[in-house]
Amino acid sequence: MKIIFADLFSCLCLWVWYNVTVSFGLSLRSDLMVTGADCGDCKLDSMQNPPRERICMTEKKKVVVAMSGGVDSTLTARLLQEAGYDVHGASMMLFDGQDLSDAAKMADFLGIPHTVIDLRDIYKDIVLRYFVDSYQKGITPNPCVLCDFKVKFGVFYDRARAFFDCPYFATGHYARIIYDPDRGFYEVDKALDLKKDQSYMMYHLTQDQLAHIIFPLGRMHKIDTRKIAREKGLPVYNRPESQDICFLGQGETYVDYLEKHAPEVFRPGDIVDLDGRVLGHHQGIPRYTIGQRRGLGIASRHPLYVVALDGKKNQVIVGSNEDLFRQKLLADDLDFTDGQAPGETFRCEAKIRYGVSVHPAEVHIQRDGRARVVFDEPQRAITTGQSVVFYDGDRLIGGGTIVRPL
């Protein structure tokens, strides 16, 4: 009777845990949960497909969480604690004056070790230099994608895991990592909260990285994140969202930053139409973006929009709204989640910037390694320097950097 009662009690606990998990969308990576079939003195990590390692029954899996001190990273750490992980916290010091006190406070609140990894020189050499150089060339930079690729999931990923001797690395990104046993690959899927989905940023991640990264919030909606954080007593549950470009000060625009740190990029030049006729003058290409209408300072019978930026000639090129639509683009610096493209030519859904919808397209991989992307319908404001990212339904295929519209 005792055995039967114990089995029934275990089943009841499992049923309650499952329903709570599904109700709140708290599905951590099932392939990394500390459970498994008994195997001598150890457990076989049977939730991992395929199993990667054997873990002693008394040993917790170690994970380091990238902590900013906000609600997402703090809840990520708490969820992993509750799932049985040995959690550590690490924060990136990226620039002088950066305030990481909230991250340290939240680590202390959670009772986990915390360290700050100084990446200021690397961040300056990789991200800030790229940011300035891009505007000098008339390219609209994508610093967050580069930072995730080279810094957060690059140097920081390696150093933070090494510092705490942790095999796993977790962040508060809204995306899902799934192992597909039929294909034999890890994949990145869109978050359930499509308004917060950050899979667009993940096309550089390798199979080895995906095997060691955890995104606990990928099956949650932001509104639920705050609700659950409040229920768990996390003091940052109502903290405002952080801004996209982290090195900008409070209320500072990217133009303000460039005026302060790289005033040389603001070279006066001409505003011309598509036929090369001078219509006016500008005070620096960085003040303009593709698709911009306001602030051109040009009198015209018809609305004019910025349709191109020519860094070599230092020209802002304007045209009609119709001139902004292109059906083709060229991309380079390609990466694919599987390690290679699905084929020399493949169908997909693609998006040309973060926060926009995907659209049907066909991708042609050229002999020079670049991709020619042909959309079924013309796309508005295809912008040099931004990322074009490819999907198969929810599954991220890969992506690259837009060289130019065709």
Tell whether 248 is covered by a domain. no
Q: Are 306 and 296 in contact (CB under 8 A)?
A: yes
Tell whether 192 is covered by a domain. yes
Are residues 226 and 288 located together in one domain of the fold?
Answer: no
Domain with residue 353: its CATH number is 2.40.30.10
pLDDT value at position 29?
55
147 is catalytic: yes
Closest CA to 65 of 112, 123, 118: 112
Q: Are 144 and 201 in contact (CB under 8 A)?
A: yes
Are residues 174 and 292 located together in one domain of the fold?
Answer: no
Of 173, 207, 231, the residue at which a domain comes to its end is 231
Are residues 272 and 393 located together in one domain of the fold?
Answer: no
pLDDT value at position 138?
87
**Which phi and psi angles does 186 have, rounded to 5°?**
-80, 150
Are residues 217 and 113 located together in one domain of the fold?
Answer: yes
Rg (CA), the chain: 24
Q: Are 358 and 343 in contact (CB under 8 A)?
A: no
Domain with residue 215: its CATH number is 3.40.50.620
* Residue 308: strand pairing partners: 317
Which pLDDT tens digit goes with each residue over 138-192?
899 999 999 999 999 999 999 999 999 999 999 999 999 999 999 999 999 999 9
Tell whether 29 is covered by a domain. no
Are residues 81 and 194 located together in one domain of the fold?
Answer: yes
Are residues 115 and 180 located together in one domain of the fold?
Answer: yes
Domain with residue 311: its CATH number is 2.30.30.280
Are residues 316 and 329 located together in one domain of the fold?
Answer: no
Q: How far is CA 196 from CA 72, 75, 81, 225, in A?
A: 12, 16, 24, 11
Q: Are 349 and 377 in contact (CB under 8 A)?
A: no
**Which phi and psi angles does 380 have, rounded to 5°?**
-90, 135
Beta-carbon contacts of residue 89 (< 8 Å; ≥ 6 apart)? 64, 65, 67, 77, 103, 106, 107, 110, 112, 113, 114, 115
CA distance 125 to 13: 52
Tell whether 174 is covered by a domain. yes
Tell whether 391 is covered by a domain. yes
Of 320, 335, 359, the residue at which a domain comes to its end is 320
Of 320, 343, 364, the residue at which a domain comes to its end is 320
Tell whether 242 is covered by a domain. no
| Residue 386 φ/ψ region, left for φ over 0, alpha for ψ in the -120 to 50 degree band, beta for the rest | beta
pLDDT in tens, the chain (406 residues): 434 434 444 444 434 343 444 344 444 554 454 332 222 223 223 333 333 333 333 356 999 999 999 999 999 999 999 999 999 999 999 999 899 999 999 999 999 999 999 999 999 999 999 999 999 888 999 999 999 999 999 999 999 999 999 999 999 999 999 999 999 999 999 999 999 999 999 999 999 999 999 999 999 999 999 999 999 999 998 887 776 677 787 778 889 999 998 999 999 999 999 999 999 999 999 999 999 999 999 988 899 999 999 999 999 999 999 999 999 999 999 999 999 999 999 999 999 999 899 999 999 999 999 999 999 999 999 999 999 999 999 999 999 999 999 9
Confidence (pTM): 0.85
Are residues 331 and 287 located together in one domain of the fold?
Answer: no
- Give the start-end residues of each E strand in 283-370: 305-310, 315-319, 325-336, 345-351, 359-365
Are residues 300 and 335 located together in one domain of the fold?
Answer: no
Residues in the chain: 406
Are residues 100 and 226 located together in one domain of the fold?
Answer: yes
- Strand ranges across the sheet with 269-272: 278-282, 269-272, 315-319, 305-310
The active-site residue out of 13, 42, 144, 147 is 147
Are residues 176 and 292 located together in one domain of the fold?
Answer: no
pLDDT value at position 17?
40
Structural tokens at position 267: 């070279």
For 98-102, which contacts have Cβ atoms below 8 Å and span 24 or more sequence positions? 100/68, 100/69, 101/69, 102/68, 102/69, 102/70, 102/236
Tell whether 343 is covered by a domain. yes
Q: How far is CA 127 from CA 59, 122, 144, 255, 404, in A?
A: 39, 8, 9, 16, 21
Tell whether 219 is covered by a domain. yes
Domain total of the chain? 3
- Domain membership of residue 76 as a residue range: 60-231
Are residues 89 and 145 located together in one domain of the fold?
Answer: yes
Question: Taking the CB of residue 246, how many other CB atoms lie within 10 A of it?
Answer: 16
DSSP string, 365-394: E-TTS-EEEEEEEEEE---TTSEEEEEETT
* Strand, coil or helix: 325: strand
13 is catalytic: no
